[in-house]
Amino acid sequence: MELNHINDRAHSNAGRRETEVGFVWPLWLPGQRDARTAAADAELKLADIGTEAARLRVAGQVREAAWRLSATQAEVESVAAQRQYLQRLAGDVQRRVQTGDLARSDALGARAELLEAQALQNEIDQRLQALRAQWRTLTGLDAMPDLPAPTTSRAPEDLAASAEHPELRLAVQAVERARKRVDVVSASRRDPPEVTLRYREEAPGMGESTQRGIGIGFRIPFGTDGRNTPLQAAAFGDLDVAETTEQRLRERQEADVRVARSALQSAVQQLDGTRSRASLLRERAQLIDKSFQAGESSLPELLRAANAAALADAALARQQAALGLAQAQLQQALGLFP
């Protein structure tokens, strides 16, 4: 729509004025409308796939935060159990010192181990609180995530992508959008012609009568190399960048899947070894504890065994969470939602 108005009020003020109202319609050239419609559809589809890819990225952040929180929570429980054991042991040692069965140095050693366990629990509690704050910031939830126990029954090769990765689909759609833009440029060698309908009212002033008229115009722009060459170069440049990005992303995704499968296999093997070691050290600590109660083992030997068992239990808790995180990272690499 066009609107023009001229008057001489600021000069001679003779009452002269001109008012013109016009409407302009572009006339699509053959193929222009279809090309632009296809380009718009490609843009909409790209936005939809982009939303899905963003959801997967957020899901990956939530997965990692949940498993980090689960690992720290398991470590807190392990340290708390060790502190309770050392507290009972310190009380038992103190009673035996009072009856003369043990030396005062044993009571001091047991008390020192208990204080160290309490300090370690406080440290891990602070880490847990920090992770909970991060979880609330990320998800808006106060509740702890209820995660399924990681399983070793499925091999890493058993997990496969059910569909194309959303990030890869996004790159493929970006290539399609770039192609549609090339089609638009190819179909628009020049701007579309325009038909104009105008109404004009002119008052000459000085008592003369007002003149009115209706006009029809037709505008045909020419497409020159100065106009078309930069547009074509930009469109083909965008297409080349999109195709290169897709190829690099496809290669990176394949590498990420291989790395994630290898990491999951390693986590499974480490979990088996850590579980066996923790079981052996826990049984050894129990045997030495019975021997200590019978007066056949020394307190330092018992404390070393209990400390080794506690460290093995904490390592087992961390490795179980590491296995869950490795499974989640493989699912993320395959483009699987939780």
pLDDT at residue 21 in the model: 94
pLDDT at residue 41 in the model: 94
- What range does the domain containing 240 cover? 2-334
Buried/exposed code over 81-92 (b: 16+ C-beta within 10 A; e: otherwise): ebbebbeebbee
pLDDT at residue 153 in the model: 55
- H helix or E strand, kind and range, residue 268: helix 225-293
What one-character DSSP code corresponds to residue 158? G
- What is the pLDDT confidence band of residue 243, given thresholds at 50, 70 and 90? very high
- What is the pLDDT confidence band of residue 81, given thresholds at 50, 70 and 90? confident
Give the number of other CB atoms < 10 A from CB of residue 281: 21
Give the number of other CB atoms < 10 A from CB of residue 25: 10
Mean pLDDT, the chain, whole residue set: 85
What's the pLDDT tens digit per position in 207-218?
677 888 999 999
| Pairing of β 194-203 and β 17-26 | antiparallel
pLDDT at residue 28 in the model: 83
Any idea which of 26-35, 143-152, 179-188, 195-204 has the lowest mean pLDDT?
Answer: 143-152
pLDDT at residue 50 in the model: 92
Once rounded to an integer, what is the mean pLDDT over residues 198-208? 81
Per the model's pLDDT, the better-predicted residue between 150 and 234 turns out to be 234
CATH of the domain at 243: 1.20.1600.10
Compute CA distances 264 → 312, 322, 332, whole Å. Answer: 21, 9, 13
Pseudo-torsion of CA 287, 290, 292, 295, nearest 10°?
-130
pLDDT at residue 159 in the model: 53
Calpha distance 338→156 (Å, rounded): 17
What's the pLDDT tens digit per position in 278-328?
899 889 888 988 888 887 778 888 888 888 888 888 888 888 888 988 988
What's the pLDDT tens digit per position in 148-188?
767 665 555 555 554 588 999 999 999 999 999 998 888 88
Once rounded to an integer, what is the mean pLDDT over residues 250-268? 90
Per the model's pLDDT, the better-predicted residue between 142 and 43 turns out to be 43
Q: What percent of the chain has pLDDT over 90?
A: 26
pLDDT at residue 196 in the model: 93
Once rounded to an integer, what is the mean pLDDT over residues 119-141? 89
pLDDT at 230 over 80: yes
What is the total count of domains within the chain? 1
